[in-house]
Structure 1
Amino acid sequence: MLWTLLVFDLSQQTFREQSIQPFLHKLVPKEEIHAYIPDVTVRYSRAVIDSQSEPYRFVEFLFRKTAHLVVYAVLALFAYAALYPHGMKRPCMFIISLLYVTAIALCDEWVQSAAAMRTSAIQDVVLDTAGGIVGLGAAVWVVPWGSRFVRRRFSSRRWNADL
C-alpha cells in the first residue's frame, strides 16, 4: 500500500520537480555527453526527442521510462506478495496483481493529466503494465522462496532453540 502511495505522490509532482537535467548538466558537459549516447531519434506519444540536439532530454527520457518499469515491477511484486498468504492459486494471484498494476497505471496517468506541466500517455500505461509483468515474473520465483525462508527461520521449534 505504501508503494502505491509513492506512485501517486510522484504523479502529482511537476515535471520540473522531477527533472534530472540540472544534475546532468553539472555531471557531464554538453561537449562530452555526445560520446556516451547513440545518434537516435525517439517518437513517444506526442514528443520527438533527438539525442544529438537534445542530449540531456534524451538521457532524462531514458531515465524516466526505466523508472516506470522498475516502479511498477516492484508494485507488482508487492501486490503478489500481499496475496500469497491467502492461499490463492498462482494464476489467480498473477491475474489479480496484474489487474491491480494496470488499474494503478491508469489512475496514475489520470492524476498526471491534472498535474502542472505533465502529460498523460497511454504508452506509459503499456510500459507500466510491462514493468508489472516483469515484477510478477520475479514474484513467482521470489515470493515462495522468501516465504519458505521466513517459515524456516522463525518456526516455533527453531525460535525456542535460539532462546
Structure 2
Amino acid sequence: MIPKYIFPILLVVWAMVIFFFSSQTYEEQRITPFFAQFDTPYWYDRLAGISFMYGGAEVSARAAGVSGFLEFFIRKGAHLFIFFVFGLLTLGVWRHFVRNAVLSFSGALVCVLLYASADELHQKLTGGRTPLLQDVMLDTFGGLLGLFCFLMFNRWRKRRT
C-alpha cells in the first residue's frame, strides 16, 4: 500500500520540474546542434515528403532543416512524456482522497488541462517561447494517456491479487 502523502509530494515535485523547463528560453533548451550531423543531402531526401502545419507554421526538413525537424519531434515527445507522468501522479492524488472513480478521473483530467494551460501561459511570459493551443492539447492528451495507464495498471494489479 502506498502512503497517502507520496503522490502529492511527487506531483508537486513534478509540477516544479515542468515549471523549471517552462522557465527556460528556447535557446537554453535547444538541441539542434546535436542533430546537425543529420543536415546532409541523404536525410533531406529521406524526409522531403514529410510536411505538415503545427501552430500555424510548416514543420518539415525543408523549412527547419533536418536538425530542426528532428528537434520538433523530440520536443513534442517531451511534452507527451512530461504530462503523461503528470497525469499519472494527478490521478494518484485524486484516487487517494476521492473514492468516486468518475469524480477522481474527471478532477484529474481538469487539473491536467488547467496545468497545461497555465504552463503555456507561463511560456508566454518567458522570453523566446511561444505559447500554443496545440501544445495545451498535446499536453492534455499526454496527461489523458497517463490517466488511462494508471487505471489499466490498477485494474491489472487488482486482478493479480
Greater Cα offset, 47-56 or 15-24: 47-56
Deviations 1:37-78 (A, max 9, x none): 352222111322222352211111111111111111110001
Over 3 Å counting, the alpha-carbon distance change for 1:29 and 1:50 in structure 2 is: closer
RMSD: 2.2
Offset from partner CA, 1:4-60 (integer Å, 9 cap, x none): 11111111101011111011114x352343365352222111322222352211111
- Could you say what secondary structure the match of 1:120 adopts? coil
Q: 1:90 aligns with which of 101, 119, 124?
A: 101
Structure 1: any 5+ residue segments left out of the alignment? 153-163
Please state if 1:140 is matched with 2:154.
no
After TM superposition, the structure 1 stretch with the greater mean CA deviation from structure 2, 9-18 or 138-147, is: 138-147
- Do structure 1's residue 43 and structure 2's residue 37 form an aligned pair? no
Which of these residues, 71, 74, 80, is aligned with residue 69 of structure 1? 80
Q: Percent identity?
A: 29
Which structure would you say has the larger Rg?
A: 1
In structure 2, the gaps of 5 or more residues are: 1-11
Give the TM-score, by structure 2 length.
0.82
SS in 2 for 1:34: helix
In the superposition, relative to structure 1, how do residues 62 and 52 fare at CA in structure 2: closer, same or farther (>3 Å)?
same
- Which residue of the partner structure matches residue 16 of structure 1? 27
SS in structure 2 at match of 1:81:
helix
Is residue 113 of structure 2 the alignment partner of residue 102 of structure 1? yes
Counterpart amino acid of residue 97 in structure 1? A
Instruction: Count matched residues.
Output: 149
**Matched AA of 1:70:** F
Provide the C-alpha distance between the structure 1 equivalents of 2:19 and 2:81, rounded to a whole number of angstroms.
15
Kept in 2: contact 1:73–1:131 (CA 8 A): yes
The whole-number CA distance in structure 1 between the counterparts of 2:158 and 2:109 is 21
